[in-house]
Structure 1
Amino acid sequence: MAFENPYPQYLEQKIDTKMIFSLLDELPQFVCLLAPDFSIPYYNRVFKQIFGDPGQKKCYDVVRGYNHPCPNCPLLNDLTDKEPFSWELTTKSGRIYSVNGRFFTDETNTRYILKTGIDITDKKKIEYDITRIDRMNLIAEMAAGIAHEIRNPLTTVKGFLQMLGWKSDLQQYQDYYQLMINELERANCIITEFLSLTKNQTEDLELQNLNTIIQTLSPLIHADALQSEITIVEELGEITDISLNEKEVRQLILNLVRNGIEAMEAGKDLKVKTYMDSDEVVLAIIDQGKGIEPEVLAKLGVPFFTTKEAGTGLGLMICKNIIKRHNAKMDIVTSSKGTTFYIRFPV
């Protein structure tokens, strides 16, 4: 029995170049053709959206902004195989693309490269976040396992140093004893920060006003600022009560304020501001420092990353944990004129 084609018009239709280009324009990934002279004879709609209209420019100028071919460009290599190759490309805007290329030759025996690129920025961010979570879990396990065991001998050593410092015949060594006690207290502070990382959820939430917590902290904040010749400016707006853990929020505010103070020179102002934004209570810590460099901003909150000589790299990480446990969000806006940390608490 002979097969009868129910759709003869589709099998007989010729697919021309215009139709192929139209199909390529509908793809969600960029597609371009790279000629031996590094020109781009064809590009699809997505490529133009990302890199702009190349016109007569060369590929290395359009994609990288170079005035010479990229050192690792496949066209510079005498490749004869037809196996595809791939690499990752970061654009000027910071987006990351997984690029695949394949050589082919036309009827004139001219060799071209067909390149396609898929945006993997979100995938990379997820991988980075997973790595951070794994690192935080490791730190939490370490903290839970050894913190208490370390604290006990530290307390013993500190007690004996204080006792020796009180002896009249050892007064000449008082400065040494005090230095050792200070270092022990710093070590104890680090352990306390470790322990705070082991908490997964905030307990003892109470309905209270953020302004009240700030006003309670005000003398301590002003005293810290005074030592660095910084002026604290409080602009506390009318806000609604929200569920907070007072102890954790105090720690959050102190950490952010002290970071702001350390980022500024003497004579500057640091503003602590609260206000309502739709259904959120916003806490803003605004400094007049030099701003945060992009490479530093990308690593803020990473365990043990710090730009301070005596820092532990855990302060901002603890702030992020507190914010997360309150179901809040943190936004950072920075420039050469200063940095603002926005903490948004849901009502």
Structure 2
Amino acid sequence: MTVQFHHFAAQSLTALAVFSADGRLAFANRAFRETVCGKGEGASGRLLDELPLAPEVRQGFAGGLAAVFAQGGPQRFSWEDATADEPRRFVCQITLFPGTGGDGGQAVAEVREAPVDERLKQALKAERLVRRREEHLKKRGRRLFLNVIDELPVFVYMQRRDYTVAYANRKTRNFYGETDGRFCYEVFSGRDTPCPHCPTFRVFETGEPENWQFTDGDGRTFHIYDYPFEDEQGEPLVMELGIDITELKRVERELYQAHKMRAIGVLAGGIAHDLNNNLVPIIFNIDYALNKTADRILAEPLAEALRAAYRAADLVEQVLEYSRQQNVSHSPLRLTPLARESLDLLQASLPASVTLKASCRAAKDCVMAHPAQVQQLLLNLCRNAVQAMPGGGLLAVALDNLTVVSRKKAPHPGLAPGDYVVLRVTDNGRGIEPDKIERIFEPFFTTKMNSGGTGMGLAVVHAIATSCGGGVSVESVPGQGATFTVYLPLCAPAGEQIVAEPRPAKGATGRLLLVDDDAGALSAMSRVLREAGFTVFTADSGEEGLKEYFRARGRYDLVVADLSMPGISGMDMAGKILDHDPAAKVVICTGHVAPDLEAKAEAAGVAGFLMKPMSPGALVERIRGLCPAAVRA
């Protein structure tokens, strides 16, 4: 290009430009830049595809340049600009630069404005109005769309390929703060680098929706739905919807735990029944042998065997206590006096290295519960704390009051709004590992297997607290101890009742019919009762028991029948006897009372239950209380 042309073109009001054969803009005067490129800054040196041209203008230049360099003759094309206030029409002529050939030469483009036909002008104006209207509606629709999304109760955000957040609604910003200029992994996960496996980015690759679950650093869990999306310029995005399912997951875990523990309780109850049946002859026969021997060499191992049998009976009782929580009657009970009495009993058995500190600050302490259960709950927690401090330490027990305003602000999940008594038992022992915290209330799960733990103590605590309408939680730091907190709802106190003092019975007589298919239990129980002064007749099945009862024409003062017997069960036998003689007194002996058994027995007229296993003395006292013909010596 000559200096003269450059000088001429720079001063010309006509839009002039020079292109090389490869489509690169070699020169453009101000008029060309403003008319064609739409801006005043320089564009020289850029390829045709890099210039800020409308698509139809770029296409016209590309075709004209290709034809000029191929054929050598001039090429013309035109276009209309409908974006201006008044529609304008431009005509471009492209010719080879004088003195250059087609290959490696240059072409001159001259652009002039041409008059616009009035009809075309009106058409272009209409097109411009339609386009502007469409743009306005599009922007308005986008604003409305984003305003609606901003109010949704789920978090919504849009993700770019470069990890930046294109948009986040109010819910998202409330959770994670402002997102402008931040990366997604920084916003949601607090990371400095991208997450190694992100389902969201699979949507960019496959174009298919994804759904998955995500738990953030604050423990909130969301179900995520990812969908492919585009912005106004066609840039690919992923729109993500996150539904907060934190509370749903908590309820799901609690429901699963409740079902699991209920199932274990039913299984444990069935096993406990058989264990109790076998423990009766063991306890009775060892007790009988101890009372009959004066040989100290024999007495010591027999006494140890009896202690072991009673420990087994205690364990079975804990299993049964766990499995029948819902069947125990509750009544208004003041917690402070019971706690003090229980702690006085506990104090005498504590190792010298353990210090007990009690604090009862609860102004209101009346709860709907069973006294034996509450005492068992407290003692189980205290024994558990003592076992966690083999080298000694501080055992702190405290009673306080708490008001729960709402379920959302409750200190323990599931607590209903209301007033509670809070029992805290704290030790400074070994503590509990984080991975074991969630399992410590499961039956038979123990962290003290090597020190004799059975895994039933805390399971019973959980079952008792739950049956009273409350709950129990634990906080622990390994090596720094643990705090167990029990929440029991308050109730109105009951009126005072005057109860006559019972007088101890010294002896009794009466005719008993004892029915049990277990020969060992039958022999051991009948021997103890005969030595206590009762006249005892035995039968080893329900059928034989019925025959004996009707043979004696109802002259038995009390019938004791085992519940589970092949053929005719104890309940079936009781029903036949009571149908014939409603005044008869029948007691069911069992190792486990199933949930519907009490109601069934009461409807049939059964006098009560005799629970296995029991000590010989407890059996005699119980029969004395039930036998109407028993007389005191």
Is the Cα contact below 8 Å between 2:161 and 2:204 reproduced in 1?
Answer: no
- Could you say if the C-alpha distance between residues 199 and 116 of structure 1 is closer, same or farther in structure 2, counting changes exceeding 3 Å? same
Is the Cα contact below 8 Å between 1:289 and 1:339 reproduced in 2?
Answer: no
1:270 to 374, 377, 395: 395
TM-score, normalised via structure 2 length: 0.46
1:142 to 267, 283, 288: 267
1:23 aligns with 2:148: yes
CA distance in 2, matches of 1:92, 1:291: 25
Q: What SS does the aligned partner of 2:483 have? A: strand
Q: What SS does the aligned partner of 1:72 have? A: coil
Is the Cα contact below 8 Å between 1:276 and 1:282 reproduced in 2?
Answer: yes
Q: Which residue in the other structure is 1:8 paired with?
A: none
Alignment of 1:29-108 (within 5 A): 29-74=154-199, 77=202, 80-106=205-231
- Could you say if the C-alpha distance between residues 170 and 79 of structure 1 is closer, same or farther in structure 2, counting changes exceeding 3 Å? farther
Alignment of 1:1-347 (within 5 A): 15-74=140-199, 77=202, 80-106=205-231, 110-156=235-281, 174=301, 178=304, 187-196=312-321, 197-203=323-329, 205=331, 207-226=332-351, 229-237=353-361, 239-240=363-364, 242=366, 243-264=368-389, 266-277=391-402, 279-289=419-429, 291-309=431-449, 310-334=452-476, 336=480, 338-347=482-491
Q: What is the deviation of 1:114?
A: 1.3
Q: What is the deviation of 1:18?
A: 2.5
CA distance in 1, matches of 2:355, 2:427: 10
Q: What is the deviation of 1:319?
A: 1.2
Is the Cα contact below 8 Å between 1:329 and 1:345 reproduced in 2?
Answer: no
Q: What is the deviation of 1:108?
A: 5.5
TM-score, normalised via structure 1 length: 0.79
Q: What is the deviation of 1:234?
A: 1.8
Is the Cα contact below 8 Å between 1:328 and 1:346 reproduced in 2?
Answer: no
Deviations along 1:52-107, one digit per CA (max 9) or x if unpaired, are: 23343322232223333223224655865433111110111111110111223456
Structure 1 unmatched runs, 5+: 1-11
CA distance in 1, matches of 2:423, 2:203: 60
CA distance in 1, matches of 2:342, 2:460: 19
CA distance in 2, matches of 1:48, 1:100: 18
Structure 2 unmatched runs, 5+: 1-135, 404-418, 492-633
- Could you say if the C-alpha distance between residues 277 and 103 of structure 1 is closer, same or farther in structure 2, counting changes exceeding 3 Å? closer
User: Percent identity between the aligned chains?
Assistant: 27
CA distance in 1, matches of 2:474, 2:142: 49
CA distance in 1, matches of 2:374, 2:350: 19
CA distance in 2, matches of 1:298, 1:146: 25
Is the Cα contact below 8 Å between 2:364 and 2:490 reproduced in 1?
Answer: no
Letter in 1 for 2:210: F
Q: Which moved more, 1:304-313 or 1:287-296?
A: 287-296
Q: Which residue in the other structure is 1:5 paired with?
A: none
- Aligned-residue CA RMSD (Å): 3.6
CA distance in 2, matches of 1:287, 1:115: 47
The answer to which structure, 1 or 2, has the higher relative contact order (CA under 8 A, 6+ apart) is 1
- Could you say if the C-alpha distance between residues 231 and 64 of structure 1 is closer, same or farther in structure 2, counting changes exceeding 3 Å? same
Q: Which moved more, 1:108-117 or 1:183-192?
A: 183-192
Is the Cα contact below 8 Å between 2:204 and 2:236 reproduced in 1?
Answer: no
Is the Cα contact below 8 Å between 1:143 and 1:198 reproduced in 2?
Answer: no
Q: Which residue in the other structure is 1:3 paired with?
A: none
CA distance in 2, matches of 1:27, 1:299: 38
Letter in 1 for 2:182: K
Letter in 2 for 1:298: E
Q: Which moved more, 1:217-226 or 1:284-293?
A: 284-293
Letter in 1 for 2:357: V
Is the Cα contact below 8 Å between 2:223 and 2:245 reproduced in 1?
Answer: yes
Letter in 1 for 2:207: K
Letter in 2 for 1:321: A
Is the Cα contact below 8 Å between 1:240 and 1:281 reproduced in 2?
Answer: yes
Q: What SS does the aligned partner of 2:242 have? A: strand
Letter in 1 for 2:456: L
Q: Which residue in the other structure is 2:521 paired with?
A: none
Q: Which moved more, 1:285-294 or 1:319-328?
A: 285-294
CA distance in 1, matches of 2:179, 2:389: 44
Larger radius of gyration: 2
Q: Which residue in the other structure is 2:41 paired with?
A: none
Q: What SS does the aligned partner of 1:16 have? A: helix
- Could you say if the C-alpha distance between residues 326 and 105 of structure 1 is closer, same or farther in structure 2, counting changes exceeding 3 Å? closer
- Could you say if the C-alpha distance between residues 144 and 297 of structure 1 is closer, same or farther in structure 2, counting changes exceeding 3 Å? closer
CA distance in 2, matches of 1:43, 1:204: 53
Q: What SS does the aligned partner of 1:41 have? A: strand
Letter in 1 for 2:208: E
Letter in 2 for 1:235: S
Q: What is the deviation of 1:29?
A: 0.7
CA distance in 2, matches of 1:169, 1:186: 22
CA distance in 2, matches of 1:241, 1:102: 56
CA distance in 2, matches of 1:126, 1:147: 31
Q: What is the deviation of 1:314?
A: 3.0
Q: What is the deviation of 1:204?
A: 5.4
